[in-house]
Amino acid sequence: MRYAYYPGCSAHSTARDMHQSCLAVAKKLGIEMEELKGWTCCGATAAHQTDRALAASLAAANLVLAKEAGLDMVVNCAACYNRSKAANYEMINSRSVREEVEDMLGQPYDGSVAVRHFVEVIVKDIGLAKLRKKITQPLRGLKVACYYGCYLLRPPEVTGFDDPENPSILEDLVEAMGGEPLEWPGKVDCCGGSHNLTRTELTVERSGEIIEMAKAAGADCLTVACPMCQTSLDLRQRDIEKAAGKKYGLPVLYVTQLLGLCLGVPPKELGLDRLMVTPEEIMKAIMI
Contact residues toward other proteins (CB under 8 A) are 9-10, 12-17, 38-41, 43-54, 57-58, 61, 93-94, 97, 100, 103-106, 150, 153-156, 164-165, 189-190, 192-195, 197-200, 202, 206, 235, 273-276
| Cα distance between residue 46 and residue 64, in whole Å | 21
User: Which of 82, 137 has the CB closer to other proteins?
Assistant: 82
User: Which of 135, 235 has the CB closer to other proteins?
Assistant: 235
Per the DSSP assignment, residues forming a β-bridge with 2 are 32
| Cα distance between residue 92 and residue 214, in whole Å | 39
- What is the three-class DSSP state of 106? coil
User: Which of 104, 244 has the CB closer to other proteins?
Assistant: 104
Q: End-to-end alpha-carbon separation of the chain, Å?
A: 32
User: Which of 143, 195 has the CB closer to other proteins?
Assistant: 195
Neighbours of 128 (CB within 10 A): 14
Query: Does residue 181 have a cis peptide bond before it, meaning omega lies within 30 degrees of 0?
Result: no
| Cα distance between residue 268 and residue 258, in whole Å | 13
For residues 74 and 5, is the Cβ–Cβ distance under 8 A? yes
Per the DSSP assignment, residues forming a β-bridge with 74 are 5, 116
Q: What is the DSSP letter of 114?
A: P
To other proteins, the closest distance from the beta carbon of 74 in angstroms equals 18
To other proteins, the closest distance from the beta carbon of 76 in angstroms equals 16
The burial of 284, by beta-carbon neighbours within 10 Å (0-12 exposed, 13-18 middle, 19 or more buried), is given as: exposed
| Cα distance between residue 216 and residue 164, in whole Å | 23
To other proteins, the closest distance from the beta carbon of 3 in angstroms equals 19
To other proteins, the closest distance from the beta carbon of 36 in angstroms equals 10
To other proteins, the closest distance from the beta carbon of 200 in angstroms equals 7
User: Which of 31, 153 has the CB closer to other proteins?
Assistant: 153
To other proteins, the closest distance from the beta carbon of 83 in angstroms equals 11
User: Which of 137, 209 has the CB closer to other proteins?
Assistant: 209
| Cα distance between residue 55 and residue 238, in whole Å | 33
To other proteins, the closest distance from the beta carbon of 191 in angstroms equals 9
User: Which of 70, 106 has the CB closer to other proteins?
Assistant: 106
Alpha carbon of residue 105 to chain centroid: 27
Alpha carbon of residue 263 to chain centroid: 19
User: Which of 180, 239 has the CB closer to other proteins?
Assistant: 239
To other proteins, the closest distance from the beta carbon of 250 in angstroms equals 17
